[in-house]
Chains A and B, each alone.
Chain A
């Protein structure tokens, strides 16, 4: 019954490494999102996409990029990981239907950058 799948639950990377976080949804949703969750800061939007190959910056895009080549897949890329990017990353999707903005979240990817 899993609808939004994040490929990695736990990752440990070194400073300067390139990191890929993958997210796949099977609900045919138009919209996909990447949030970062830190204690006391809530869920902060990094990037979102409303269509294939389309993307918009969220509130904290610096140090991140995204890719959406297929409707079901939305990838978050850290070109050169830094220790301040240690966090829980949550992917979500929603349908593009007026009045139906409900987000379905993935289980999260906990990234540690050493």
Chain B
């Protein structure tokens, strides 16, 4: 079926270090891969997304890479700060379904140690 596997489920890094979260998806024809961040007690919000015609996209300390051959994409956070502590969700839109249907991974709880 349509799914995306996300790893790790929890991640703890020292402030200032980098964090990497990986997702593997099932539908090789998918072409849109967003990442959402959910801070404690708040709603998920889009932080970055990538489309299948690019391999990497960067926005300040956040970057996303996409490997279509291997069917995986990753979120990279550099120089981590306390405000990066949150749950991060990867997602994708299965190609052979309604263009509106967005499937999420199980989430990664990122903790930044001072």
Contact = CB atoms under 8 A, between A and B. Distances in A.
Interface of A: 30-31, 33, 35, 40-45, 48, 50, 56, 58-59, 90, 94, 96, 98-99, 101-103, 105-108
Contact of B43 (A42, A90, A101): A90
A107 B39 CA distance: 12
Contacts of A43: 44, 89, 104, 107
A48 B103 CA distance: 12
Given A43-B107, A56-B101, 19 more contacts: A30-B100, A31-B100, A40-B106, A42-B6, A42-B106, A42-B107, A45-B102, A48-B100, A48-B101, A50-B98, A59-B2, A59-B103, A96-B99, A99-B51, A102-B46, A103-B36, A103-B44, A103-B46, A103-B102
Report, as a range, how many residues of chain B touch the other chain. 20 to 34
Contacts of A105: 43-45
B31 to A, nearest CB: 10
Contact of B105 (A42, A98, A101): A42
Interface of B: 2, 6, 9, 32, 34, 36, 43-46, 49, 51, 89, 93, 98-107
B32 A101 contact: yes
Contacts of B101: 45, 48, 56, 58
B22 to A, nearest CB: 15
A41 B45 contact: no
Nearest to A59: B103
18 contacts: A30-B100, A33-B100, A40-B9, A42-B89, A50-B100, A56-B98, A56-B101, A59-B103, A90-B43, A94-B100, A94-B102, A98-B99, A101-B32, A101-B34, A101-B102, A102-B34, A103-B34, A103-B46
Residue among B6, B51, B101 having the largest count of chain A Cβ atoms under 10 Å:
B101
